[in-house]
Chains A and B, each alone.
Chain A
Amino acid sequence: EDKVVQSPLSLVVHEGDTVTLNCSYEVTNFRSLLWYKQEKKAPTFLFMLTSSGIEKKSGRLSSILDKKELFSILNITATQTGDSAVYLCAVENNNDMRFGAGTRLTVKP
């Protein structure tokens, strides 16, 4: 059965810390892996990853995919309180897009 597992489920850090969020997956006919940031109710797109080993970067956020070991990480450096959110990982195959349960990140001042 296809599945997407995120860890940790929740994380509390202080401003300025660096965090690494994990997403592992088992899907058939993998096409892409996506990261979303969910504040309140609406997820917003962060990254789409299709190739192994190529880091995608946006400001303090970066992500990389390992298609051999079937996982991705999302890094956030110099965290700010505005980074507090649920971070969702989604994996797409030919027929479906399956989401993980998310990692709830809380950044304290």
Chain B
Amino acid sequence: GAGVSQSPSNKVTEKGKDVELRCDPISGHTALYWYRQSLGQGLEFLIYFQGNSAPDKSGLPSDRFSAERTGGSVSTLTIQRTQQEDSAVYLCASSTQGAWAEKLFFGSGTQLSVL
């Protein structure tokens, strides 16, 4: 597609439920990043995929968070047993080379609200 696509754009869930957030990067981009942005905060790095390499999971805040990237393209971020503090905008970004080298193209994000 023309840009990074994320779905859903908004998700309201109850505490304790699992949620899946989807990211479709720009075609041909080998690097994919997930960030979280809480209200009034900067972007918090979560996880980074580069090609077929093992992902950099160093930013995942707990073991309730996981992500996968199938076929080097679409990525899914899963949050299990959601908590109210998980409420945030989850942003996905992609780039052509990765390794943090260059500008990122961001999706419009998923606004997650945990009640």
A and B co-occur in one complex:
yes
User: Which secondary structure characterizes the binding site on chain B?
Assistant: loop
Instruction: Assess whether B40 is interfacial by the CB under 8 Å rule.
Output: yes
Q: How many residues of A contact B (CB 8 A)?
A: 25
Residue contact A41 to B42, C-beta cutoff 8 Å: no
Which of A4, A92, A93 lies in contact with B42, CB distance below 8 A? A4
Q: How many A-B contacts at CB < 8 Å in the complex?
A: 50
Q: Are B103 and A98 in contact (CB under 8 A)?
A: no
Q: Which residue of B lies closest to A4 (CB)?
A: B42
A85 to B89, CA, bound (A): 16
Asked whether A96 is an interface residue with its Cβ less than 8 Å from the other chain, the reply is yes
Q: Are B100 and A97 in contact (CB under 8 A)?
A: yes
CB–CB B41/A41 < 8 A: no
List residues of A whose CB falls within 8 A of some B CB. 4, 6, 31, 34, 36, 40-45, 48, 88, 90, 92-102
